A and B are shown apart, each in its own frame.
Chain A
Amino acid sequence: MHQTKAFNYSVPYYAWLLLFVIAPVILLLFESFMDVHGNFTLNNYQTYFSSGTYIRMTFNSVFFAFMVTVITLAISYPMALIMSRLKHAQFWLMLVILPTWVNLLLKAYAFIGLFAKQGTLNEFLTFVGIGPQQIMFTDGAFMAVAAYVQIPFMIMPIFNSLVEIDQSLVNAARDLGASSAQTLRKVIIPLSMNGVRTGVQAVFIPTLSLFMITRLIGGNRVITLGTAIEEHFLVTQNWGMGSTIGIILIIAMAITMYLTRDRKQGGK
């Protein structure tokens, strides 16, 4: 009975799906079979799969998205765990979100100031006696900034699943003689898997199409699919090729979703 009710509430959502997701995707699919002159063609897909350039780009995108996700997760999980045990947890969570409200381009420029040859970080390195390093335009700098951008999106869902873990379960594990490492491995981590899964999806998927940071911080040393789409839509105005890559990204997303799906699903 309540099922139908919830369905009614969800009508705006399905309308949104239809109008802002399905319609654009059909448009995109349509466009991906067009050449620059507006004629039907399969060339875009052929170009994509036969040119080493695009395959390499795809590999780059997946690789860097994977690395960024791993780094983000490694930083975020302990963070979420510590925060979830703090007294004013929600307040700390807000402090995690707050930096994301400052414009990304501005923050990127701030990173240039921090990482540059004569930037703050290098001054510090010189001060402690290591001496200045080339930080800008390295894979490390690029991944660090990308992870920086994504951390709040990872912390949030993990935090939300951690705060709800019943403390009595943790206590029970302790009472039964489990060490804190064992409790973490056997109780806390399995119970927070839902949050981890959401976090991985919220980070990995958008990172696949990242482009601005690859240029600003990475100096275009790494070319991802996002860069190529940007170029096709804005510079060459070859919307056909851009759409083709877009479709491929959507497929990659669906695969990601499949791989990170909740295997023991079905209402519990």
Chain B
Amino acid sequence: MKHKAASLYLIFVFVVMYLPIFYLIFYSFNAGDYMNNFSGFSLEHYRTLFSDYRLMRILANTFIIALLSALFATLIGTFGALGIYHTRRRGTRNTLLSLNNILIVSPDVIIGASFLILFTLIGMKLGFLSVLLAHIAFSIPIVVLMVLPRLNEMNPALIDAAHDLGANDYQVLSQIVLPYAWPGILSGFFMAITYSLDDFAVTFFVTGNGFSTLSIEIYSRARQGIDLSINALSTLMFLVSLVLIVIYYFLSTYQQRGSKKKRTLGTAVR
């Protein structure tokens, strides 16, 4: 009975979360040109999309930026979180955390404008690299925010024990600390991708020389009305992401089955 209520709740929340997405996908098949008044099924917008090589190139750019920036932000942020974790003095620690969160609280226009000033000040040419740097920069704090609580939950005795058993720093880091923090690291990585894919204002300010991302294209089309080929594009993006996630899932369960022994051992130690 209770189990049933839980499942119902789960299903309900998922339905709500995917409702707008399904709405978008539904209208990508509209024979009409707008996101209302469905007038019949058509693949016309997909045809438009596939003949728009510029949009396809922008799509590739968007993913390159998202993946690379999320990766770098995850690496830098994870080790940053370790640094904060090892800071013993509480005052310093809180200051570091507050500094860390400044980019989360600052509205995008402020971040964008100040990064633009920063980049032009050091004479950097705007384009792929400046966008990548900016995306890494605003994704780092969310990674730290996701990783740090995991580190705080870690039992320090574990590390001490490992040291006592003769493990060196690298071994402690790679065998104990990082595996323990992994769920947080992974969350940080995915959140970084979210930040990157969603950002308009910062990218707008720091881009140039012909480099563009999907968000810029979508936002600047709003004045003319966003056409349904953008819906078609989002549908494809969504489906590809879904397939990737399913693949990842199978890969990781496959891997897990292989290393199950080790895992049970790890739990025993804890």
Contacts and interface: CB of A to CB of B under 8 A. Distances in A.
**In-complex A–B contact (CB below 8 Å):** yes
A59 interface: no
Contacts of A114: 19-20, 23
A9 to B, nearest CB: 4
Contacts of A67: none
A111 B13 CA distance: 16
A223 interface: no
Chief secondary structure at chain A's binding surface: helix
B154 to A, nearest CB: 9
Nearest to B93: A265
Interface in A206-246: 206, 208-209, 211, 226, 229-230, 233-234, 239, 242-243, 246
B129 interface: no
With a 10 A CB-CB cut-off, give which of B10, B105, B253 has the most chain A CB atoms: B105
Interface string B103-118: 1111101110111011
Contacts of B98: 253-254, 257
A88 B83 contact: no
- Interface residue range, chain B: 35 or more
Interface string B19-39: 111011001000000011000
A71 B198 CA distance: 23
Contacts of B159: 2
Interface stretch (B49-57, B233-241, B257-265): B233-241
Contacts of A98: 238, 241-242, 245
Contact of B193 (A101, A195, A211): A101
B153 interface: yes
A130 B77 CA distance: 50
A125 interface: no
Nearest to B111: A24
A63 interface: no
Interface stretch (A43-51, A135-143, A170-178, A196-204): A196-204
With a 10 A CB-CB cut-off, give which of B19, B94, B103, B109 has the most chain A CB atoms: B109
Interface in A5-20: 5-7, 9-10, 12-14, 16-17, 19-20
Given A102-B238, A105-B222, A114-B19, A6 B10 contact: no
A190 interface: no
B167 to A, nearest CB: 10
B99 interface: yes
A13 to B, nearest CB: 3
Interface string B58-100: 0000000000000000011101101101101010011011111
Nearest to A228: B107
B155 interface: yes
A16 B80 contact: yes
B249 to A, nearest CB: 5
With a 10 A CB-CB cut-off, give which of B23, B148, B193, B242 has the most chain A CB atoms: B23
A185 interface: no
A41 interface: no
A154 to B, nearest CB: 12
Contacts of A3: 86
B245 A9 contact: no
Nearest to A258: B94
Contact of A90 (B80, B138, B249): B249
B41 interface: no
A148 B140 CA distance: 23
Contacts of A246: 106-107, 110
Contact of A28 (B17, B83, B114, B140): B114
Interface in B243-261: 245, 248-249, 252-253
Contacts of B237: 101-102
A94 B245 contact: yes
Interface in B113-140: 113-115, 117-118, 136-138, 140
Given A10-B80, A24-B115, A156 B241 contact: no
Interface string B157-179: 00100010000011011000000
Contacts of A2: 86, 159, 163, 169, 172-173
A147 to B, nearest CB: 10
Contact of A164 (B27, B153, B169): B153
A127 interface: no
Q: Which 3 A-B pairs have the closest CB atoms?
A: A13-B80, A10-B83, A110-B20
9 contacts: A12-B75, A13-B144, A21-B99, A88-B253, A97-B190, A101-B194, A109-B226, A160-B150, A230-B109
Given A6-B83, A100-B198, A198-B148, 14 more contacts: A2-B172, A10-B83, A13-B76, A13-B83, A16-B76, A98-B238, A103-B234, A105-B219, A106-B226, A109-B35, A110-B20, A205-B105, A253-B104, A253-B105
